Amino acid sequence: MASPDPRGNPCGTRNASARSAAEKALWRMMSFYDTPLADLDAASAHDPGWMLPHVMRAGFLLSLTEPGMLDEAATHLRLADTLAASAPPRERAHLEAVQMVLDGRWQSACRAWDELLVEYPRDALALQWAQLWDFYRGDADALRLRPARVLPEWDESDALHPHVLSLYAFGLEESNLYPQAEEVGRRALAANPKVPWAVHAVAHVMEMQGRYEEGAAWLRQYQDDWAEGNGFSGHLWWHKGLFRLEGMDLAGAQRLLDKRLSGDALQITLQRVDAAALLWRLHLLGSDVVSPCHALLDGWDLSDHAAGYYAFNDVHLVLAMLGAGDVGRAEAWVARCAERAMSADDARRSNHHMAREVGLPLMRGLLAFARGQADAAADALYAARGEARRFGGSHAQRDVIDQTLLAAAARGTRAGIGRAVLNERLMAKAATPLTAHWREQLDAALTVLA
């Protein structure tokens, strides 16, 4: 009889060293301290017949949203399938869920993990993966409710408990429950300061409340714990860049980009997405970003299998192309994404609907903005913004849509739309220098139109 894992879940190996290595890999996946691949290799070396390490490798690779890693993930799932007969039902359920992810059926995978957590509420792997693909799908309710359903079943002495708290904190924040989110995030960090997702959740709270100076200080407070040796550091540097932009410190944001979000610091698309988002915001505020956008594009996957894989990434690639001044290239990319989104072969994929209903309308609005068609851009972005959460990301990430809309409204005859969006912003968060900038731009436009 195989021994359970540290949380009492059925485990498909009797080898203690294999279990220990897999547990270390799980911690890495939740904490982002280095990748889990070496630990998973060690787990397989200790027990070559154990299926789960192969599933974990595949899931980790897929979580990076890199189309170029699909083949490698598929190879690990095929290996896992050859070992499935001796695996416990819980581990086979993980295999089935990760296969759904590979097939592009992200919502189905999250439902499968939900079912698994009903029976095994302390399955941290199911929690971690479901949170990531909820995030990629923009499902704020699930981000909050899934951790809430299982947290009372967890022992606070469990080393992973602070990481589960951090998942809950982020779900609370994305559900606009800011005081609760901050309290839970701080509680996670009081138990263990090396929980970057909790630092991240509280940084989101401060961003959404306009607390930009406090937010920058918050990130500095924990910087020694997240800035080195952590795969999440690039995203937290991005948050620091957002706080600088809220204070209209454009030079500071540019310095941060040059030092932390360029060159060798960008290894995967998710990191390039952050760089593109910050560069585009600088572009909207009048900075020259042509050269860094060209450099950013040099390392981006522009292959046919990448076009239309994930709408959120596609939109950010278009931002980089437009920031580089290459409208024709952006138009071609949007056309390739549209072709895939209309393909019946991809109709089962979650991204099929995300692209058709959100990604493509947003990209067309961005193209109109780049062509100087300010009113068409404002109309398209205003129409799409209400559905934007359905293509994934966070409130803070999707704010790039509103900021582009404000810029478009200030450049054409849709200043009334811009004023309405700005009013919404002012009701949601404290006024910041960035908000004052957009108010000045829109007031000037309204004066011209009067």
Parts of the chain belonging to CATH 1.25.40: 1-137, 268-450
pLDDT value at 1 more than 60: no
Least confident of 123-132, 226-235, 346-355, 382-391: 346-355
The tokens of 57 are what?
A: 């490798």
What pLDDT, on a 0 to 100 scale, did the predictor assign at position 345? Answer: 76
Q: What are the distances in angstroms from CA 20 to CA 91, 228, 430? A: 16, 24, 47
Least confident of 34-38, 112-116, 233-237, 300-304: 300-304
What pLDDT, on a 0 to 100 scale, did the predictor assign at position 335? Answer: 96
Question: Across-strand partners of 390?
Answer: none
pLDDT value at 420 more than 90: yes
Q: Please, are residues 106 and 346 in contact by the beta-carbon 8 Å criterion?
A: no
Average pLDDT over residues 149-176: 97
pLDDT value at 343 more than 90: no
pLDDT confidence tier of residue 304, bands split at 50, 70 and 90: confident
pLDDT value at 233 more than 70: yes
Class of domain 1-137: mainly alpha
Give the predicted TM-score (pTM) of the model. 0.96
Class of domain 268-450: mainly alpha
pLDDT value at 291 more than 80: yes
- Indicate the average pLDDT of the chain: 95
